[in-house]
A and B are shown apart, each in its own frame.
Chain A
Amino acid sequence: MSYAILMSSSTDIDSFYIKGLFSYELFGQTLWITTSHVCILIVMLLLILFAVIANRKLKNATEVPDTFQNIIEILIEKLDGVVEGSMGKHAPRFRNWMLTLFFFIFVSNVSGLLGLRPPTADYGTTFALALVTFCMIRFNEVKHNSLGAIWKDKCSPLPPWLPIWLPINLVSDIAVPISLSLRLFANVLSGTVIMALVYGLLGKIATAWPSVLHIYFDLFSGAIQTYVFAMLTMTYIAQAIGDDE
């Protein structure tokens, strides 16, 4: 009961809790397969299905596109434009990952509409995503800058021989994945909790009209948070690359 949101629980009224389905032992630790895993699998299946269908459609694309092909082309072009706008000439290397991130987070956030518990309302999911971002930032920083330039950047307001600001800059680097993941997690979780409270408290009165709340909390908030997470990821990576020519 105590760590219910973060782990699992067997209470019955709190429908927004993550529930453990079955547990197994690994190296003396008890681990749980939770509803989050199942929901992530469903989201992944949906995305793979969409990808396969879209791929097959584009393999025999027609000169004059029909509806489905149009939708795919608009989606890819818009998202490519967003990536291009914030990463400039580095965009082609990150395009695939950013589009995957867009689709995964968006479908995860919206999956509340399908009756799933959004996988992004689990801190494990968002922290994993933010860790990937963190690794990409640091990797690109080392790849595109010399070690001397990085050292100079880490001591940045003061000259490089006086590293008083070094710990502060390091802490602000470490804070990046934490704030990224907490932002996404808390936004989606707050929507989930509020929807669960509305359905739980109002019972039978809550028919049809909570769809307005669903539009705000699932669609609008989910889309905004997807955009923000992806934009911040791209901004941080572009910042870490710097302007090497």
Chain B
Amino acid sequence: MNITGEDLILACSAIGAGLAVIAGIGPGIGQGIAAGYAANAVGRNPGAQGQIMSTMLLGQAVAETTGLYGLLVAILLLFVKPLV
């Protein structure tokens, strides 16, 4: 069995895709912190629950972006194969 250059690039792309999705750690921690503080705020002021919810969701969605960039890199490496 001989490994061509293309096979090597594909294998390395798969490893790279796996590494790229590690970017999900950051947003995970960030969203958890945001949700924790939102729960804290609702506990202090239950009346403002609606506004706290929407602020939290907005902040979490913005924090999520960096993780999604990692996901995009992984998807591009796996399915678009720009290096082959």
Which A residues are within 8 Å of any B CB, using their own CB?
1-6, 14, 17, 179, 182-183, 186-187, 189-190, 193, 224-225, 227-228, 231-232
Contacts and interface: CB of A to CB of B under 8 A. Distances in A.
Interface stretch (B2-10, B11-19, B34-42, B73-81): B73-81
Given A2-B84, A4-B79, A4-B80, A186 B71 contact: yes
Given A225-B61, A228-B57, A228-B61, A182 B84 contact: no
Interface string B40-84: 000000000000001001100110110011011001100111101
A232 B75 contact: no
Contacts of A17: 79
A190 B71 contact: yes
Nearest to B72: A186
Contacts, number: 49
B68 A227 contact: no
B56 to A, nearest CB: 11
Q: Is the interface of B mostly helix, strand, loop or mixed?
A: helix
Nearest to B58: A231
Contact of B64 (A6, A14, A183): A183
A187 B68 contact: yes
B75 A189 contact: yes
A22 to B, nearest CB: 22
A17 B75 CA distance: 12
A182 B61 contact: no
Given A2-B80, A232-B58, A183 B75 contact: no
Nearest to A16: B79
Contacts of B82: 2
A4 B57 CA distance: 33
A224 B75 CA distance: 22
B75 A182 contact: no
Nearest to B84: A2
Contact of A182 (B57, B58, B68, B79): B68
A189 to B, nearest CB: 7
B53 to A, nearest CB: 11
21 contacts: A4-B79, A4-B80, A5-B75, A5-B80, A14-B79, A17-B79, A182-B65, A182-B68, A182-B69, A183-B64, A186-B71, A186-B72, A187-B64, A190-B68, A190-B71, A190-B75, A225-B61, A227-B58, A228-B61, A231-B54, A232-B58
